[in-house]
A and B are shown apart, each in its own frame.
Chain A
């Protein structure tokens, strides 16, 4: 049963990802990305990372992707239709590099295995991770807070409407 879940989620994730980068309409691309993220969340659940899985759905799929959608609506784009690539053949080059990269990855990944350690009680639960975040990783935790604050400020400053006076000196 577990295997079935894995294969289902994996194939869905891969296919949805592929369609994300190939579809013309950006909104469709976003929706497919959301599918990928949810599929990955399923995999996380299967790997006993319940807390992270929930975070993935709430934050990633639920907030970030929604943000993407908002911006898309704000920019009011239609289909992806403007001119040709500046560098001719870049798509071909991209595909080539991708294949090379894939081959390399496969070569690296198939070479090793690892023994799976037994799993302690409460693994992946919010309590354990919470404890970890507030002890061993306290500093990064706090810094992340600062980071988000900075990001929030940056977004406000960068994206606000310029007042009519300011547009001259830009």
Chain B
């Protein structure tokens, strides 16, 4: 049995996700943007764990395992890119990233 009804977990996940979205759109510092992304990932992980418990199926936790790994890789590469950009431009303002015009 869950400590609280299922819907509470869902709402928490939704809140975390939305906060992450806000972070991605509103902040100018690229590192904070990345952190917003991490928040969104964690919201998804929470959902996976909850439903894994609900259905007593380990697959959800296995997926979180992979999501964790991928998030690690993504964070690493993202930060490496930011470091490279900083070397070129001296700032990591996301608005400065505008070279890829269509």
Report which A residues bind B (CB closer than 8 A): 2-3, 5-7, 10, 13-14, 17-18, 20-21, 26, 29-30, 33, 36-37, 40, 43-44, 46-49, 51-52, 55-56, 59-60, 63-64, 67-68, 71-72, 74-75, 77, 80, 82-83, 85-86, 90-91, 93-95, 97-98, 101-102, 105-106, 109-110, 113-120, 123-124, 128-129, 132-133, 136-137, 140-141, 144, 147-148, 150-152, 154-155, 158-159, 162, 170
Contact = CB atoms under 8 A, between A and B. Distances in A.
Contacts of B3: 2-3, 5-6, 46
Interface in B68-102: 68-77, 79-84, 86-88, 91-93, 95
Given A21-B32, A113-B7, A144-B66, A68 B79 contact: yes
Interface of B is mostly: helix
A59 B68 contact: yes
A21 B36 contact: yes
Given A67-B75, A98-B22, A117 B61 contact: no
Contacts of B18: 98, 101-102, 105
Contact of A49 (B6, B53, B84): B53
Contacts of A132: 58-59, 62
A75 B75 contact: no
Interface in B32-60: 32, 34-36, 38-39, 42, 45-46, 49-56, 58-59
A119 B25 contact: no
A109 B61 contact: no
B35 A68 contact: yes
A151 B76 contact: yes
A21 to B, nearest CB: 3
Given A40-B42, A133-B62, 9 more contacts: A2-B4, A18-B19, A21-B26, A21-B35, A60-B72, A85-B95, A90-B25, A106-B11, A159-B80
B21 A98 contact: yes
14 contacts: A14-B15, A21-B26, A33-B39, A36-B39, A49-B49, A60-B68, A80-B32, A113-B7, A116-B54, A137-B59, A140-B66, A148-B69, A151-B76, A159-B80
A5 B9 CA distance: 13
Contact of B73 (A26, A106, A148): A148
A90 B21 CA distance: 13
